[in-house]
Copies of this chain bind each other. A is one copy, B any other.
Amino acid sequence: MTINKIMDKPGCWLGDGGPLSDIVISSRIRLARNVAGYPFLSRATHAQRRDLAAFLRERLESSSFRPDFTYIDVDQLDELGCQVLVERHLVSRQLVEAKGARGVSVSESQNTVVMVNEEDHLRMHVVRAGMQLDEIWAAIDKLDDSIETEVDYAFHPRYGYLTACPTNVGTGIRVSVMLHLPALKLTGEIERVLRAAKDMNLAVRGLFGEGTEATGDFFQVSNQVTLGRAEKEIVSEFRSTIVPRIVEYERMARQALLDEKSRALDDRIFRSYGTLRHARTISSEETLLHLSHIRLGVHIGRIKDVPVKVLNELFLETQPAHLQKAHGGKLTGEQRSAARADLIRRKLGCA
């Protein structure tokens, strides 16, 4: 699968449908694994890193368990291609910014990914639209087992799976949900919710994970503790406690806005709609903010003529690398802002 083929597909992190999808954009589980007999990457030589990548690539490509996977050699990929992978949430920024032999194996549906030589030797994740952590756990557990039949994982009988960073030792699991919380943001209650999440040892990040700010009302909530708890326990806590609670807060905030501030809410939603339908130049940050308001408007029934599908496509396609790939080459910031505004108007049926 080439980058162009990836771009032709809708992509998975910004899902449409799935349980609780008015608020839970997508859910995701990631596992960190290392291969026994190889040093952690921070201590590996270039040659060791190259050998390891070659070894893992060969295993991943030859596996009969994953016939629909394609391996992309990130070290050979140009800057725009790398950015497309990041914008798709297929790989981390860390992977593309690293040096040396590294890659990623992506399933046809783009919902299953195995990164090679990121922080750990292997980082695999499964993502689905809406709240589907149980299904995701079943899928990634199977993926993990299948890889384990071919690769000898670094495992300690007392500490569990060994990882480059101690915060991942044990299960090596990170469960995360991407939440759309515009009403909590508008009412200002988001601060209280985020504090409560931190008290529960949860990390709250932005759209692009570690080191990124929450933009356009999107929040990625994930566990921080990986040691001393079973994977299923962590998943179950997300499914039965954490996510339902935040979803309930957001729903209450939406209802309160509808009941008490419906005009101010409509004003916010429809000004965003009007701006995207008419702007001739627009930044990605501003686009994200307006798309967020429109998404809220669609889910509370105030905007009826924009399919969620179109919104999701816009979230993806208005990103800088996607815009440039679609254009067929590099664009300046000014050109991107113009191309972005044109694309938006076209997709909203007003150009």
Contact = CB atoms under 8 A, between A and B. Distances in A.
- Of the four ranges (under 10, 10 to 19, 20 to 34, 35 or more), the interface on chain A belongs to 10 to 19
Contacts of A270: 278-280
A81 B309 CA distance: 52
**Nearest 10 pairs between A and B by C-beta?**
A274-B278, A274-B274, A267-B280, A270-B278, A266-B280, A267-B281, A263-B280, A271-B279, A274-B275, A274-B277
25 contacts: A263-B280, A263-B281, A263-B338, A264-B280, A264-B281, A266-B280, A267-B279, A267-B280, A267-B281, A267-B341, A270-B278, A270-B279, A270-B280, A271-B275, A271-B278, A271-B279, A271-B280, A273-B278, A274-B274, A274-B275, A274-B277, A274-B278, A274-B279, A275-B275, A277-B278
Interface string A236-278: 0000000000000000000000000001101100110111011
Contacts of A267: 279-281, 341
A285 to B, nearest CB: 16
Nearest to A270: B278
Interface of A: 263-264, 266-267, 270-271, 273-275, 277-281, 338, 341
A273 B274 CA distance: 8
Given A267-B341, A270-B280, 20 more contacts: A263-B280, A263-B281, A263-B338, A264-B280, A264-B281, A267-B279, A267-B281, A270-B278, A270-B279, A271-B275, A271-B278, A271-B279, A273-B278, A274-B274, A274-B275, A274-B277, A274-B278, A274-B279, A275-B275, A277-B278
Nearest to A266: B280
A278 B264 CA distance: 12
Nearest to A341: B267
A340 to B, nearest CB: 12
A57 to B, nearest CB: 46
Contacts of A273: 278
A350 to B, nearest CB: 9
Contacts of A271: 275, 278-280
A270 B344 CA distance: 14
Nearest to A267: B280
A282 to B, nearest CB: 8
Contacts of A264: 280-281
A11 to B, nearest CB: 28
A230 to B, nearest CB: 50
Nearest to A278: B274
Contacts of A266: 280
Contacts of A279: 267, 270-271, 274
A273 B278 CA distance: 7
A288 to B, nearest CB: 17
Contacts of A341: 267
Contacts of A280: 263-264, 266-267, 270-271
A298 B270 CA distance: 23
A263 to B, nearest CB: 5
